[in-house]
Amino acid sequence: MSTAATETIPGYLAGTWTIDPVHSEIGFSIRHMMVSKVRGRFATFSGTITTAEDPTASSARAEIALASIDTNNEQRDGHLRSNDFFNTESNETMTWVSTGVKIDDGDIVVDGELTLLGVTRSVPLAVEFNGIGPDAWGGTRAGFSATTEINRSDFGLSFNMPLDGGGVVIGDKVTIHLEIEAVLDTPAA
């Protein structure tokens, strides 16, 4: 492992990791009625992370089931699955694939491409490495937190309704937050 990785990411371990969906979350928030935010999550997702000896050569991939959206409101979730938004009958998943990793003064940015409704856009993640440690079953786990923002209109999600006093029901900016716990499958040789 490089000296830079040791200094920048204490406890760093190279290998291939599988995201543990039971102990992870892919969530989001979006402005509603111009005065508050609605929060939600995707309940079904999978992914892998490959940490390289040189952390900037690492990679990640995730696949998220669009029909698993959960905003704690069945009527809203049904509308989000409809043709007005995700059209989950024709669009089962969205994917995010990393394209590069940058570490600057301890800040980690993982560049990547998000594909949603047939549209691919660059979506970088600001990542916080939370550590690596043993689990109760003799394995090794790593934790990561990440955030990003997207404009939903960039992906063709443009449905909206005007409000009587001005403004719209749904904002364009979607804040995405990830809490990822991953299990080491294969340590680097």
| Burial classification of residue 32, based on how many CB atoms lie within 10 Å of its CB (0-12 exposed, 13-18 middle, 19 or more buried) | middle
* CA 80/CA 71 separation, integer angstroms: 10
Residue 38 has pLDDT above 60, yes or no: yes
DSSP H or E run through 103: strand 93-104
* CA 188/CA 170 separation, integer angstroms: 45
pLDDT in tens, 51-100: 999 999 999 999 999 999 999 999 999 999 999 999 999 999 999 999 99
- What average pLDDT is seen over the chain? 90
CB 58 within 8 A of CB 77: no
Please report, for the chain, the start and end positions of each structural domain, with discontinuous segments joined by +: 3-187
DSSP H or E run through 141: strand 140-151
Beta pairing class for 125-134 and 119-122: unpaired
Topology classification of domain 3-187: Lipocalin (2.40.128)
Q: How sure is the predictor about 22, in pLDDT bands with cuts at 50, 70 and 90?
A: very high
* CA 90/CA 187 separation, integer angstroms: 38
pLDDT in tens, 97-144: 999 999 988 899 999 999 999 999 999 999 999 999 999 999 999 999
Of residues 4 and 15, more confidence is placed in: 15
Q: How sure is the predictor about 1, in pLDDT bands with cuts at 50, 70 and 90?
A: very low
Check residue 162 and report its DSSP letter: B
pLDDT at 106: 81
Tokens 């990561």 belong to: 144
Question: Per residue, what are the HEC states of 12-55?
Answer: CCCEEEEECHHHCEEEEEEEECCCEEEEEEECCEEEEEEECCCH
pTM of the model: 0.90
* CA 110/CA 55 separation, integer angstroms: 10
Percent of the chain with pLDDT over 70: 91
As a whole number, mean pLDDT of residues 12-34 equals 92
Percent of the chain with pLDDT over 90: 78
